[in-house]
Amino acid sequence: DQQVKQNSPSLSVQEGRISILNCDYTNSMFDYFLWYKKYPAEGPTFLISISSIKDKNEDGRFTVFLNKSAKHLSLHIVPSQPGDSAVYFCAANGDDKIIFGKGTRLHILP
């Protein structure tokens, strides 16, 4: 039973445009939601998080939106840059461990 779902395995976006990565979850008890970025042959790197009591958190080019009623969150990257090409994992913190989605591979096109 997947508690964190990323339904898009891949996404291609033109450089300079907005990238929007989506994530759904099932467990209402999660208290933090996180996004990680992963390059090949490296471990995941923490990008940004949001508390379950907030609906938006912004850090530079990255903004995470949380819609609790829909159990949905999204990561916006504006503007998209070539170095943003990577796999992005949505994750949720509950019961003292982080649970990850399957990831979305983002391709930034020149």
Per CB under 8 A, contacts with other proteins among 51-70 are: 51
Determine contact, residues 19/81, Cβ cutoff 8 Å. Answer: no
Report the distance separating Cα 5 and Cα 88, nearest Å: 12
Contact 75, 92 (CB under 8 A): no
Rule CB under 8 A: choose which of 43, 60, 83, 110 binds other proteins. Answer: 43
- Residue 57 Cβ, how far from other proteins at the closest point, in Å? 9
Strands 104-109, 10-14: pairing is: parallel
Site for other proteins in 76-105 (CB under 8 A): 89, 91, 93, 96-103
Contact range with other proteins by CB under 8 A, out of 10-18, 26-34, 63-71, 77-85: 26-34
Closest CA to 27 of 5, 53, 3: 3
**Which stretches of the chain bind other proteins, using CB under 8 A?**
4, 6, 9, 31-32, 34, 36, 41-46, 49, 51, 89, 91, 93, 96-103
